[in-house]
Amino acid sequence: MTQDSGQSMYLYGASGHAKVIIDVLQSAGIRVSGIFDDNPALETLNGIKVLGKFSGQELDAPLLVSIGNNRVRARIAGKLQFSFGSAVHTSALISPSARIGEGTVVMQGAIIQAAAHIGSHVIINTGASVDHDCFIDNFVHISPGAVLSGNVQVGEGAYVGAGALVIPGVKIGRWCTIGAGAVVIRDIPDRVTAVGNPARIIKQPTNEP
């Protein structure tokens, strides 16, 4: 049983992603004081009270946006003027020289190596590996089991699918999607979708942010 650290946090978004974040916070002894969600039908999630729509009220603890979709998470974080918390599972291995931004969640068994920079409102999901000197921009999602080798750069809002592998020094563009199991051996431009081994672009840029 995890000891209560005396710290607490609120979540924004009563999603499946929130269920995992609750476990992450509880592993560190951090209580979830309540969850905000726009769905009026929701009353509890994992035994935690859903407080309804967040309307900018003052809170006695930090807030964490618990929504897996990168664009939705970015939109909500952008409109809230608030102190954001972060969540790191106790089983994650984090180098002392790594930097992790506000609002970021690091899931069970993830590894973040020396001098890695993880931006704000990022998801480093279950068992993902981020090696030395990687730069992960804001609102990125590194999915379960994905492996980023050293000196990889991932642009804002990008999604790296489950089990994907990125070789050293590659740059992945902003708001692009890397498919599950892809092997990325060359730079990927902004706003495209790339899949396969080696990864190839199958969807060209869109006008989305």
Q: Which fold has domain 87-203?
A: UDP N-Acetylglucosamine Acyltransferase; domain 1 (2.160.10)
With a pLDDT cut of 90, the percent of the chain lying above it is 83
User: Tokens 């609750």 — which residue?
Assistant: 22
Sequence spans of domains, the chain? 8-79, 87-203
The pLDDT, as a whole number, for residue 97 is 98
User: Tokens 């080798």 — which residue?
Assistant: 149
Q: Which residues are catalytic?
A: 132
Instruction: Summarize the confidence of residues 68-75 as an average pLDDT.
Output: 96
Amino acid residing at 123: I
37-46, 59-68, 108-117: range with highest mean pLDDT: 108-117
In the beta sheet, which residues pair with residue 36? Answer: 12, 52
Pair 167, 148: CB distance under 8 Å: no
At 41, the pLDDT band (50, 70, 90 cuts) reads confident
The pLDDT, as a whole number, for residue 5 is 55
**List of long-range contacts for 159-166, beta carbons under 8 Å, 24+ apart:** 159/70, 162/125
Q: Is there a shared CATH topology between the 8-79 domain and the 87-203 domain? A: no
Residue 130 has pLDDT above 70, yes or no: yes
The pLDDT, as a whole number, for residue 102 is 96
Instruction: Summarize the confidence of residues 187-206 as an average pLDDT.
Output: 92
Residue 63's CB: how many other CB atoms inside 10 A? 21
The CATH number, out of the four listed (3.50.50.60, 3.20.20.370, 3.40.50.20, 3.40.50.2300), of the domain defined by the range 8-79:
3.40.50.20
